[in-house]
Structure 1
Amino acid sequence: MPIFSATLGSFTSISSSFLSQSHLSPFVKTPCQWQHHYHTAKVLVSASGNTQIDQNPDSGLLQRPTPPDPLDDARQARRSSDWKAAKTYQDSKVIYNGRVEGFNSGGLLVRFYSVMGFLPFPQLSPVHASKEPEKSIQEIAQGLIGSIMSVKVILADEDNKKLIFSEKEAAWSKYSKQVNVGDIFEVRVGYVEDYGAFVHLRFPDGLYHLTGLIHVSEVSWDLIQDVRDILKVGDEVRAKVVGIDWGKSRINLSIRQLEEDPLLETLDKVIPQDGSADPDSMSGGDSGSIEPLPGLETILEELLQEDGIYDVRISRQGFEKRVVSQDLQLWLSNAPPTNQRFTLLARAGRQVQEIHLTTSLDQEGIRRALQRVLERVP
């Protein structure tokens, strides 16, 4: 049984001794051995090493298989090894410095050894857009080609050939340690959503490396219907760090906490009496002449049931120019007590009422009493 065949030109003269050899001898091309005739023949080599020539031109031909290219095998082995390395980078969260090779409509192409990865534009650090705010994202991407970028591998999927990078995550690892709750930053508004504004934090080097959120409730003490009425893309403001979620790489900031809550002191602080206020913005009288805010009367009655509280009455009220909250809110003033009399402030909408509380309790005792009352009142 032949193990392979090869197509050759047939020969008019070939020695019989050659055909009877048990092993193939090297061909030696000399004029006396053969003349070329270009019709098809087939040389068959048996398992024992004997050979014969099939002169049938119609017989099927078996081609010698192409040997594997060792270079292709080496490349494939290297790519497989690089995918494993990428998965290790993903699991260990180690920063990788990759070269930007190009970009498309969705992001940058970043090389990871022999594998090409992808960095979506939303995963770019804010430092680029902050440096050149007048440029489009495509113009910024064009300028990044050839640069070395610090990134983190956030997805390495060899089966689906997906390798995704994030520069934001790398920046978080480097700069988040410089951020603490209570820190105040100069920030630039990057984009605005219905629920708040995303702002970029400016660091001592003058660059914006991290992004945080100012929730709509932390923009102002005023009641805000649309954040876009207050903040616009490109605005630069000061904001205070009020929370850090290390697990989700998130920073929460507040603008309003840099402003004193108008209800932390007295009604005079809420509505300053500097001659510019409306004449009817303040009104005095006793608790009988001022109608309590909706829901407040029940709370005052319950407070009188608490031990150590002797008298509760509304002393005066005022009207703000702004609506702070539609719901009833109660605040214990920081103003020092006078003759065992503390000040409470209640507000709803634009209306603010000042309440005098005569008690033997200290501030902490009053807070606990208020908490008990609010738990009883529906």
Structure 2
Amino acid sequence: MEEKYNGQNEENLSMEDILKQMDEVDERRGRSKTAEVHSIQPDGLLVILEGKLDGFAPESELVKPLKEYNIGDKIEVQIMKVDEDEGRSVVSEKRIYFRTALKKVENAYKSGEPVTGTILGETKGGYNVKLLNVVPAFLPGSQSGIRRGRPIPEGEQEFKVINFRKKKRGTNIVVSLTAFKEEKVKAYFEALETGSTVEGTIESIKDFGAFVRLTNEVVGLIPASEVSWDPSQKVHDVLNVGDKVTVKVIDVDPEKKKISLSLKQLQEDPWNTVEEKYPVGSVVEGVVKSIVPFGFFVMIEPGVEGLVHISEVFWGNVRRDLKELIREGDRVKVKIKDIDKEKRTLSLSYREALGDPWDNIEEKYKVGEIVDGKVVKVLPTGAIVELEEYVSGFVPVSEMSWNFVDRVEDVVKESSEVKTKILSIDKENRRMRLSLKQATEDPWQKVHTELKVGDYVEGKITRLIKSGAVVMVDGYGVEAFLPASQVAMKRVENLEDAIKIGEHRRFKIIRLVYDPEKDVRNMVVSIKQLLLDKEKEETQKALEELSGEESSTLSLGEKLKEHLEKNSEGEK
């Protein structure tokens, strides 16, 4: 019998066989002895029995794992056999312990108290379990709470003995993991109250919230909305797996075994004191959290955000891309416009926190003053020039240049730096009228001083228009008008046949007006009158020459005709 047991694992024997073996050993070797651990070997323990080093306990006959024993430990053992050749006994701790452990399991079955054990592995219909390190038992799958294919729980578990039946060949023991869990869960839910505070460990984190392990059997959920008063914070920004947390119970559903928890409700709601901390009209600093088409949101403190509507961003009728002004994460100053504590909303103003630049506009800018500006918009009717942020004025096309302006783009370009003269300021309507041409000296004053009707000037034809041509007068920087009727002696059907752009010629001034009070300045020139003057001059010269010749049978008129014909032939 001893050899048979020594060659087999006790789990392959029935409990009846084990008990019979124990009885036989008891009769031959005594019931139990106290042994002291002398040394720890790879396959068991060398022990001292009755003062002599003559015992060996194989690892398979130990109650605990080999690594849990220490030299000097006292253990109760049963002598299994004596090896006469080696002069030592083979002993078993498990044989002594087994009967006691089996009795504990039976008592646990009767009392309903838990008994500890470990799950050895999966078998048909369930799992093999070892109770109190020595007593084999069966755990049905339906009583395990373990999903098929999932890892088997490691380490000691608490089982409830739901069946303990003695048979001829042993004892049939069936245990349950879920029975005690259900009882514990039920008891936990019965004791749990809404509004109470509990502690737990973050078990897993999802986008919708964080699961908190409250006990070995109970898990609660912190919804994402209950993590922080700051709605922009994600669950992962606040919590990590393994964190120990104290949370408030906000809802309990015993039937569905669900518990809703809150982390933020253990902190003061910032909206409770928002009116005292941020009164209407105060200027505060915050962080830009997001930019939307209708404005941007600013966080004043975690959980307190407000909207700066697009109408509260810029002064005046300004339409700019918000992302050119600010970026997410920027710190900005805003003014509290309105507080709705019930709806938890703030209305904020970015522009009022900066101050209205038009409040003291008449102190900063004077009518008649020449100032620097930047062209921000070119229009068919003129240009908008910005003097400073949110302060701009309009330059009408009539004030673009001292000369005729066909296209505004020919005078200024967007983003170009210019000097302008302030013509008027309308503070109430936030308007300013500017002049580019008056920021420079009036060239027509020199024209008025030095030129008059009948004078001859030279210039270059710069462009052709339907009614004539525009001439840039040399030395004065002003433009004169050449009517189509004054281009040649005869009627011209097509101007391009008579004159060319870029052609440099001499002209006669036939009209000159300078009236700065009425803002009238113009010059009209003529090629035709120049030719007529030249012809008249030549005629007068010819008359003078002919009148000095000797008498002839020809009349003076005939002589003049003959003279002109000769000159004409010569020119030809």
TM-score (norm 1): 0.41
RCO (CA 8 Å, sep 6+): is it higher in 1 or 2? 1
Question: For the pair shown, which has the larger CA radius of gyration, 1 or 2?
Answer: 2
